[in-house]
């Protein structure tokens, strides 16, 4: 039997997650059954279960991918443009979120996942860990800005990172509920609120 490559496994996993996003956006997490996911992915149950033991695992994988992408974007922006203000960093992040939302419904999936995290202990714990990691990553970015720019050292980098997460989550929520036109000016507003120092 031929060996399956990592590239093939990664592509198959992403195919399943893309199908799951479509199904979840259409019907919501609770109304979407595993059979719905098999049909949406056009795969057998065995093919899906090889990658994800259950629906919770798919929800977690989507959430992890989304949070990881946002954290990676922020690290990339700050590495490429170390002199940018935190407002510029956040503006770039919300622009990416808005762009990804067009392709994958990121905002609607995010809101559904947070709701699930409130009632599902396993997802709640995983979300707590993901947000802690994101907060730590953002605190590192803020700390560098505090050391290299006129950004004050108080409040703490951790407190400012919490505010940044609030901005990102608030953007996602408004994008999901109000639509892209309602948040079109958010990047400019962030640059104005948190200008270069």
The CATH number assigned to the domain holding 36 equals 1.10.10.60
Give residue 32's pLDDT: 95
Beta carbons of 8 and 50 less than 8 angstroms apart: no
State yes or no: pLDDT of 174 exceeds 80: yes
Domain that holds residue 7: 1-53
More confident residue, 129 or 74: 129
- At 51 the three-state DSSP class reads coil
Distances (CA, A) of 167 to 62, 80, 97, 113, 126: 20, 22, 12, 18, 21
pLDDT tens figures, 28-45 = 888 999 999 999 999 999
Domain count, the chain: 2
28: left (phi over 0), alpha (psi -120 to 50) or beta: left
pLDDT tens figures, 41-96 = 999 999 999 999 999 999 889 888 887 877 787 777 777 776 778 888 889 889 98
Give residue 72's pLDDT: 80
The answer to whether the pTM exceeds 0.85 is no
For residues 9 and 76, state if they share a domain: no
Beta carbons of 133 and 64 less than 8 angstroms apart: no
For residues 165 and 74, state if they share a domain: yes
Distance between CA atoms of residues 98 and 119, nearest Å:
27
Distances (CA, A) of 185 to 93, 163, 196: 13, 19, 18
């Amino acid at each position: 039997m031929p060996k399956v490559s990592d590239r093939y496994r990664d592509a198959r996993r992403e195919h399943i997650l893309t199908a799951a996003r479509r199904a979840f956006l259409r019907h919501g997490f609770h109304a979407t059954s595993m059979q719905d996911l098999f049909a949406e992915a056009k795969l057998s149950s065995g093919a899906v279960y090889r990658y994800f033991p259950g629906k919770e695992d798919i929800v977690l994988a989507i959430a992890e991918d989304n949070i990881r992408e946002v954290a990676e974007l922020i690290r990339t922006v700050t590495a490429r443009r170390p002199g940018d203000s935190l407002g510029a960093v956040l503006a770039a992040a919300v622009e990416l979120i808005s762009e990804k939302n067009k392709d994958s419904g990121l905002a609607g999936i995010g809101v559904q996942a947070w709701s699930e995290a409130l009632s599902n202990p396993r997802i709640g714990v995983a979300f707590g860990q993901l947000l802690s990691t994101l907060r730590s990553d953002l605190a590192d970015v803020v700390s560098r800005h505090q050391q290299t720019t006129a950004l004050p050292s108080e409040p703490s980098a951790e407190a400012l990172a919490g505010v940044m997460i609030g901005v990102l989550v608030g953007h996602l929520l408004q994008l999901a509920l109000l639509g892209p036109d309602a948040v079109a000016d958010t990047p400019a507003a962030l640059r104005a609120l948190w200008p270069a120092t």
